[in-house]
Structure 1
Amino acid sequence: MAAGSHSADGGFGHLRAEFELPESFRAEVLAEAEAAGMDPREADREDATDLPFVTIDPPGAKDLDQAMVLSRRGDGFRVQYAIADLGAFVTPGGPVDREARRRGQTLYLPDGNVPLHPPVLSEGAASLLPGETVPAVLWTIDLDSRAEPVATRVRRALVRSTEQFDYETVQLALAAGTAHPSITALAELGRLRRELAVRRGAVELQLPEQAINGDAGDGWALGMRPRNEVDAWNAEISLLTGMAAASIMIEAGVGVLRTLPDADEDSIEWLRRSAQALGIDWRPEVSVSELLAGLDPALPESMALYTCTTRLLRGAGYTSFEGRLPPSTTHAGIGAPYAHVTAPIRRLVDRFAAEVCLSVSADSDVPDWVRAALPELPVLMSASDSLAARVERACIDQVEAWMLAERIGGTFEAVVLRAEEARAEILVEDPPVMGRCVGANLPEGERITVRLTAVDVVKRKVSFERA
Structure 2
Amino acid sequence: MPSNRVVKVRSSGDSVTAQEMRDGIAAIQAEMKVSAAFPEAVERAATEAAADPRLPDLDRTDIELITIDPESARDLDQALHIERDPDTGGYVVHYAIADVAAFVAPGDPVDVEANRRGETLYGADSKIPLHPPVLSEDAASLLPDQVRPALLWTIKVDDTGEGTDVQVERALVRSRAKLSYEAVQADVDAGRESDLIGLLSEVGELRLAREAARGGVSLPLPEQELAETGEGHWELEFRRLTPVETWNAQISLLTGMAAASLMVYARVGILRTLPPADPRDVQRLHRTARALGIAWPAEQLYPDFVRTLDPSRPTHAAMIVACTRLLRGAGYVTFNGGLPEQAQHSALASEYAHVTAPLRRLVDRYAGEVCVALCAGTEVPEWVVAAMGELPDSMRESGRRANQYENAIVNLCEAELLHDRVGDSFAAVVVEVDEKDGTRGDITIEDPAIEASVRAERDLPLGEEVTVELVQADPASRSVEFRLA
- What TM-score, normalized by structure 1, do the two folds share? 0.87
Q: 1:403 to 1:28 in 2, by over 3 A?
A: same
Query: Number of aligned pairs?
Result: 457
Is residue 2:457 matched to residue 1:436? no
Mapping for residues 16-31 of structure 1, pairs under 5 Å: 16-31=29-44
Deviation, structure 1 residue 416: 4.5
Who is 2:161 aligned against? 147
**Distance in 1 separating the partners of 2:227 and 2:69:** 16
Alpha-carbon displacement from aligned partner over 1:399-428 (angstroms, at most 9, x marks no partner): 22233323323456x664835466543245
RMSD, aligned α-carbons: 3.2
Who is 1:359 aligned against? 373
Give the aligned residue type for 2:52: D
Who is 1:166 aligned against? 180
Who is 1:7 aligned against? 18
Who is 1:48 aligned against? 60
The answer on whether the counterparts of 2:356 and 2:364 sit within 8 Å (CA) in structure 1 is yes
Q: 1:204 to 1:425 in 2, by over 3 A?
A: farther
1:110 to 124, 128, 140: 124
Is residue 2:344 matched to residue 1:327? no
**Distance in 1 separating the partners of 2:169 and 2:310:** 41
Aligned to 2:145, what secondary structure does the other structure show? Answer: coil
% identity of equivalent residues: 44
2:359 to 340, 345, 350: 345
1:243 to 257, 263, 277: 257
The answer on whether the counterparts of 2:220 and 2:241 sit within 8 Å (CA) in structure 1 is yes
**Distance in 2 separating the partners of 1:197 and 1:280:** 21
Aligned to 1:255, what secondary structure does the other structure show? Answer: strand
Who is 2:396 aligned against? 382
Give the aligned residue type for 1:436: S
Deviation, structure 1 residue 313: 3.3
Mapping for residues 305-316 of structure 1, pairs under 5 Å: 306=320, 309-310=323-324, 312-316=326-330
**Distance in 2 separating the partners of 1:345 and 1:222:** 30
Alpha-carbon displacement from aligned partner over 1:79-126 (angstroms, at most 9, x marks no partner): 110100001000111111111101101112435321111111000000
Q: 1:122 to 1:195 in 2, by over 3 A?
A: same
**Distance in 1 separating the partners of 2:415 and 2:375:** 51
Is residue 2:50 matched to residue 1:32? no
Unaligned runs of 5+ in 1: none
The answer on whether the counterparts of 1:260 and 1:330 sit within 8 Å (CA) in structure 2 is yes
Who is 1:399 aligned against? 413
Give the aligned residue type for 2:65: F
Q: 1:266 to 1:185 in 2, by over 3 A?
A: same
Who is 2:297 aligned against? 281
The answer on whether the counterparts of 1:201 and 1:335 sit within 8 Å (CA) in structure 2 is yes
**Distance in 2 separating the partners of 1:269 and 1:449:** 21
Give the aligned residue type for 1:133: V
The answer on whether the counterparts of 1:282 and 1:291 sit within 8 Å (CA) in structure 2 is no
**Distance in 2 separating the partners of 1:334 and 1:168:** 27
Give the aligned residue type for 2:206: L
Deviation, structure 1 residue 170: 1.7
Q: 1:327 to 1:31 in 2, by over 3 A?
A: same
Deviation, structure 1 residue 295: 4.4
Mapping for residues 258-277 of structure 1, pairs under 5 Å: 258-263=272-277
**Distance in 1 separating the partners of 2:172 and 2:227:** 35
Of 367-376 and 302-311, the range deviating more from structure 2 = 302-311
Of 171-180 and 60-69, the range deviating more from structure 2 = 171-180
**Distance in 1 separating the partners of 2:470 and 2:262:** 53
Unaligned runs of 5+ in 2: 1-6, 12-16
Is residue 2:199 matched to residue 1:185? yes
Mapping for residues 186-201 of structure 1, pairs under 5 Å: 186-201=200-215
Deviation, structure 1 residue 456: 2.2
Aligned to 1:357, what secondary structure does the other structure show? Answer: helix
The answer on whether the counterparts of 1:405 and 1:455 sit within 8 Å (CA) in structure 2 is yes
Deviation, structure 1 residue 307: 6.4
Mapping for residues 111-126 of structure 1, pairs under 5 Å: 112-126=126-140
Give the aligned residue type for 1:66: Q
Give the aligned residue type for 1:55: T
**Distance in 2 separating the partners of 1:220 and 1:346:** 30
1:60 to 72, 90, 107: 72
Aligned to 1:25, what secondary structure does the other structure show? Answer: coil
Deviation, structure 1 residue 317: 0.4
Q: 1:100 to 1:212 in 2, by over 3 A?
A: farther
Q: 1:206 to 1:358 in 2, by over 3 A?
A: closer
Deviation, structure 1 residue 67: 0.9
Deviation, structure 1 residue 291: 3.5
Aligned to 2:154, what secondary structure does the other structure show? Answer: strand
The answer on whether the counterparts of 2:452 and 2:480 sit within 8 Å (CA) in structure 1 is yes
Q: 1:16 to 1:213 in 2, by over 3 A?
A: farther
The answer on whether the counterparts of 2:237 and 2:314 sit within 8 Å (CA) in structure 1 is no
The answer on whether the counterparts of 1:174 and 1:187 sit within 8 Å (CA) in structure 2 is no
Q: 1:282 to 1:226 in 2, by over 3 A?
A: same
The answer on whether the counterparts of 1:248 and 1:360 sit within 8 Å (CA) in structure 2 is yes
Deviation, structure 1 residue 169: 1.7
Q: 1:65 to 1:305 in 2, by over 3 A?
A: closer
